[in-house]
Amino acid sequence: MTDVHLLDPETGHFISQEHRRVAEIINEYDSTLNLVWIPPGKRTGESHPFAILHSPDGKAPYIVRKVRESEVNEQLIAWLWSNDTQRNDPVSMLGAYESAQEALRLKRQLEAKEEQQEIAETILRSPLNVYRHNGKTYRD
């Protein structure tokens, strides 16, 4: 599956599927952390369209880190995980990076399975004898 961009209904801008995955993994890791998109009009002249926002209970939210678009990947997750455990430990950082790569791989795999399941359910519910999807033809 290629990395497509989807329209974010809240902002009216397009966001990458990969960015969405990274944001979900970060929020699943810690529900007080969110990867947020900064609209162009609210940026401070920098080329950081994303930020990790921490919203602790009972305290004002604050930005943990501003992030370039090219940095929204497994390395960002690894950075977050490694800084949450042991700072500046290369072995810990390597382990966090490998874990982040695995988390993104599993997220992609889960989404692909869910998509296949939706297609199968749609085909089974269809009253048609022939069903076409992505260039493949399915027959009763």
Check pLDDT > 60 for residue 51. yes
Rounded CA-CA distance 74/137 in Å is 36
Please tell me which residue, 60 or 92, carries the higher pLDDT value. Answer: 60
The phi, psi pair for 61, rounded to 5°, reads -65, 150
pLDDT of residue 3: 56
pLDDT of residue 55: 92
Structure tokens at 49: 């369209």
What totals of helices (H) and strands (E) does the chain contain, helices first?
A: 3, 7
Q: What percent of the chain has pLDDT over 90?
A: 13
Q: Return mean pLDDT, the chain.
A: 79
Structure tokens at 62: 């604050």
Sheet holding 33-37, edge to edge: 33-37, 50-54, 62-67
